[in-house]
Amino acid sequence: MTPEMKERLTNEVKDNDVVLYMKGTAMIPMCGFSARAAQVLQAVGVKIHDVNILDSDELRLALKEFSDWPTFPQCYIKGQFIGGSDILMDMYQDGELQKMVAELPKVTPVK
């Protein structure tokens, strides 16, 4: 991972409350797991900064190292690595996710 890429990712997860590195976009996901992760985040009403990792091999490979996580999607909330779609779904079902995003500004969920 280049120092520039590391800086980009560090800033991106710091400057955005909710970041989802995914296959496709929240509007047009290209993978079932990415779709599910986006849906869970939309269900709790937060604004998603979605980044399509299919746009760049460099980005995709860098993220595996940056997050120390081999799969996508990868979600960050308030700068903290949360995990992928299984973890987001579990946290949503347990109500933990709702608590974590309680103070964040809400948007109307995308239909």
Partner 1 sequence: MTVAQKIEEKLRAALNVHELVLDNVSHHHAGHASSPGTGESHFNLRLVSPDFEGKSRIERQKLVYQLLAEELQGPIHALSLKILTPAEA
Residues contributing to the site for partner 1 (CB under 8 A): 31-33, 68-71, 81-87, 90-91
Toward partner 1, which CB reaches closer, 20 or 84? 84
Q: How far is the CB of 54 from partner 1 (least distance, A)?
A: 10
44 three-class SS: coil
Q: How far is the CB of 70 from partner 1 (least distance, A)?
A: 5
Residue closest to 40 by CA, chosen among 75, 68, 78, 9: 75
Alpha-carbon Rg of the chain, whole angstroms?
Answer: 13
Toward partner 1, which CB reaches closer, 52 or 85? 85
The span from the CA of 62 to the CA of 2, in Å, is 8
